Amino acid sequence: MKVVLFCGGYGTRMRTGAGDAPKPMQLVGPRPLIWHVMRYYAHFGHKEFILCLGYGAEQIKDFFLRYEETASNDFVLRGGHVELLATDIWDWTISFIHTGVESPIGERLRRVRDHLQGDEMFLANYADVLTDAPLPEIIGRLERADAGGALMAVPPPGTFHCVEVAEDGMVGQITAVTEMPLWVNGGYFVLRQEIFDHIPEGGDLLVDGCKELAKRGRLMAYPYRGYWRPTDTINQRLELDRAYARGDRPWALWERT
C-alpha cells in the first residue's frame, strides 16, 4: 500500500533560525524524523512512498540521494571495502513530488492524486509523529467497513488537569486531561479515493476532507492509548532524541525482529 507523507511545511515551532532544517529532517538519533516514520511503515511491508515536498525540499532530496547505510547499520570494513551486515532502504520506492511551499495539507494530497491512481486505499501521515500502534489493525478496520477513511485518535498530549467548578466556586473533581474521554487526531490516516471528493482546491485534509466524511458518517477512528509522541516543539524533539540515546525507543518496531 502506498504511503503519502506530508513533509513540506515550515515547522516554525521547531525552528531556531532561518537556516534550520524542515521539521521532518530534525534528527532523532542518527536519522531524521521522516526516516523513523518511513521505517515504521516499511516494518509492516509498506515501502512505496510519495513525499509531498515544499519548504526544505532540497534537504530531503539530498538526504536520500546521499544516503549512508553505515550510519544505522552494522558493517565490516575489509581491505577498504565496506560489507554491510544489514540495510535500511534498498527495497524502498520513493517519489519526490514538489507540492508547493505554501500549500495546505489537503492541497498537497490533491497534487499527488495522479500517483495514487488505481489504488483503492492508501496511507497518509504528517511525517512528524512517532508511534508503535498496530498499523495492520487500523487498515483492517477500514477494509471491513463501509467508510471513506480512518484516522488514529489519541488522548490529548500534555500534563494539564481539568478542574470541575460548581456554581458556588467549589471544586468538585480534578482530572488529568489524558484520562478524560477526549481524543485528538493522531496524524495516521488510512484513506480511500473517496477523500478526494471532499477536498476543494487549496483545502485541508482534516478540516475539509475528513470533516465532510464525518458529517456523512463515512469516517472511522482507531482510538489508541499506547505509545504516541508528537514533535511540534524543539523540546519534544529533544526528548525523543534523549530517549533514543538511552535505548528507549518503542516506535522502532523494526529493531525487535
In this predicted model, what pLDDT tens digit does every residue of 86-101 receive, in sequence order? Answer: 888 999 999 999 999 9
What the block records as the C-alpha cell of 38 is: 518511513
**pLDDT per residue over 199-244, tens digit each?**
999 999 999 999 999 999 999 999 999 999 999 888 999 999 999 9
Give the CA distances from residue 217 to residues 63, 182, 207, 211, 214, in Å, rounded to whole numbers and listed in that order. 41, 19, 15, 10, 5
Q: For residue 61, give every residue at least 6 positions away whose Cβ sits within 8 Å of its Cβ, in sequence order, or none.
A: 53, 96
**pLDDT per residue over 161-179, tens digit each?**
889 999 999 998 898 877 8
Sign of CA dihedral 49, 53, 55, 56: positive
Q: Which domain CATH number covers 67? A: 3.90.550.10
What the block records as the C-alpha cell of 117 is: 491512481
Residue 142 has pLDDT above 90, yes or no: yes
**pLDDT per residue over 47-74, tens digit each?**
999 999 999 999 999 999 999 899 888 9
Number of Cβ within 10 Å of residue 186's Cβ equals 23
Backbone angles phi, psi at 109, to 5 degrees: -65, -40
| Percent of residues, the chain, with pLDDT higher than 70 | 96
Task: Tell me the residue type at 248.
Answer: D
- Residue 98 domain boundaries: 2-256
Q: How many domains does the chain have?
A: 1
124 compared with 176, residue with greater pLDDT = 124
The mean predicted confidence, pLDDT, of the chain is 92
Q: Mapping DSSP to helix (H, G, I), strand (E, B) and coil, where does residue 54 land?
A: coil
Residue 192 has pLDDT above 80, yes or no: yes
In the beta sheet, which residues pair with residue 184?
Answer: 154
- Tell me if 6 sits within 8 A of 124, measured CB to CB: yes
**How high is the pLDDT of residue 26?**
92
